[in-house]
Copies of this chain bind each other. A is one copy, B any other.
Amino acid sequence: MSASDNEIPYPATSYDVAKAAGVAQSTVSRCFQDDSNISPETRERVRRIAAELGYSRNALARSLITRKSNMVGVVATRFTIRNNPELVYTLGDALRSEKRRMLLMVIESDATVGSIIDEALEYPLDGLICCSNMKETDISRFRTRRVPIVFFNRDVKSALTDSIATDHAEAGQRAADLLFEAGHRRIVCIKGPEKAQVSLVRASAFVARLAELGVAHVPTVSTDFSYDQGLTAFTDLVENLPRPDAVFCANDQLALGVMDACRYKLGWRIPEDISVVGFDDIAEAGRLSYQLTTIRQPILEMALKAVELLLSRATNTDVEERNIRMAGRLIVRTSARIQDKECPSL
């Protein structure tokens, strides 16, 4: 028994199947395409033989000739993945139902997106869903290659490049109205990183709206969007302040930290002593221990829409860019008083 007897050096190719079935390689190829002219008998026989040989088509070789990789790149930051794990699942699921694979490229933060550009360009991606900012020079490299991009929750405007995002400004404004109408006047704001566009928009719209309503000063502090900093930054902030009666947090993680600070560090009751409003509606916000009133981002609808926008670019190559903004939805729980203080009977 020689070495060549038991060699299984490489997976079977369409040539191997062709030889075993006594047909041409192109016939084998046709047997695995849905819309090809092939006799039912041949198709069945060849497929059976292929199965016996353990044959699968090589997707890479196919991509080379069809010039379609059937792969969609998804760029996501660590924070996005942690805060919205369902987004990853939903994107993957939506892409698979469109016969696309998900090449997930994770980055530490928006600041490090540059590190994956070259790698993404080496694959003839069908498209890129980018949950990060990107420089125009990098965007144009994809555009040159005809790789469409959809930005997800990032306010990036570029030619032929779509985006979908929550309407953060409207949402921040709504939070301001909510708290003002409930009679709150000593209001503070816990926002995210200075570099995080979404946080800035939410917070500045919130503050601006309050200013319109006559609340001139809204003490504000920046954080890293984490529970821990929500807890500590809030505690520090209120130390030298008249006690606030409401707080808006630019995301739910912060809000949970603020709530725990109130209850376990400051001894304040929620919502009797202070109203807390968050942003996102993550799973934790609905726990009985928190019951956080917050503004939900329609992440899952946005994910589906992102896939739809992306794949429609394959046919509609030159349609003008679409920048879709979806309204957040106020989820009323018990962490904020929503009726006016002056009318407790309501």
Q: Which residues of A contact B (CB under 8 A)?
A: 8, 10-11, 54, 56-61, 63-64, 67, 69, 71, 78, 81-82, 85-86, 88-89, 92-93, 96, 101-106, 116, 118-119, 121-124, 141, 144-146, 227, 231, 256, 259-260, 263-264, 283-284, 287-290
The reply to whether A89 and B93 contact each other, CB–CB distance below 8 Å, is: no
Closest 3 CB pairs of A and B: A92-B106, A85-B85, A260-B288
Q: Which of B85, B104, B106, B144 contacts A82 (CB 8 A)?
A: B85
Q: How far is the CA of A316 from the CA of B202 in the complex (A)?
A: 53
Q: How far is the CA of A122 from the CA of B321 in the complex (A)?
A: 34
CB closest residue in chain B, given A144: B54
Q: How far is the CA of A10 from the CA of B12 in the complex (A)?
A: 31
Q: Which of B85, B116, B119, B256 contacts A287 (CB 8 A)?
A: B256
Would you mind naming 22 contact pairs between A and B with Cβ atoms under 8 Å apart?
Answer: A8-B144, A8-B146, A11-B145, A54-B145, A57-B122, A58-B122, A60-B123, A81-B85, A81-B89, A82-B86, A82-B283, A85-B85, A88-B88, A96-B106, A102-B103, A103-B104, A227-B283, A231-B288, A263-B288, A264-B289, A287-B289, A289-B289
Contacts of A58 in B (CB 8 A): 64, 122, 124
Q: How far is the CB of A118 from chain B (nearest CB, A)?
A: 7
CB closest residue in chain B, given A140: B54
Q: How far is the CB of A72 from chain B (nearest CB, A)?
A: 11
Q: How far is the CA of A231 from the CA of B105 in the complex (A)?
A: 36
CB closest residue in chain B, given A102: B104
Instruction: Classify the secondary structure of A's interface with B.
Output: helix
Q: How far is the CA of A57 from the CA of B121 in the complex (A)?
A: 8
Q: How far is the CA of A146 from the CA of B283 in the complex (A)?
A: 41
Contacts of A231 in B (CB 8 A): 288
Contacts of A263 in B (CB 8 A): 288-289
Q: How far is the CB of A109 from chain B (nearest CB, A)?
A: 11
Q: How far is the CA of A57 from the CA of B63 in the complex (A)?
A: 15
Q: How far is the CB of A13 from chain B (nearest CB, A)?
A: 11
The reply to whether A64 and B67 contact each other, CB–CB distance below 8 Å, is: no
Q: How far is the CA of A338 from the CA of B82 in the complex (A)?
A: 31
CB closest residue in chain B, given A121: B56
The reply to whether B102 and A60 contact each other, CB–CB distance below 8 Å, is: no
Q: How far is the CA of A54 from the CA of B145 in the complex (A)?
A: 9
Given contacts A89-B106, A227-B283, 9 further A-B contacts (CB under 8 A): A8-B144, A8-B146, A11-B124, A58-B122, A88-B88, A88-B106, A259-B289, A260-B289, A264-B288
Contacts of A78 in B (CB 8 A): 86, 89
CB closest residue in chain B, given A71: B103
Q: How far is the CB of A85 from chain B (nearest CB, A)?
A: 4
Contacts of A81 in B (CB 8 A): 85-86, 88-89
Contacts of A124 in B (CB 8 A): 11, 58, 60
Contacts of A59 in B (CB 8 A): 122-123
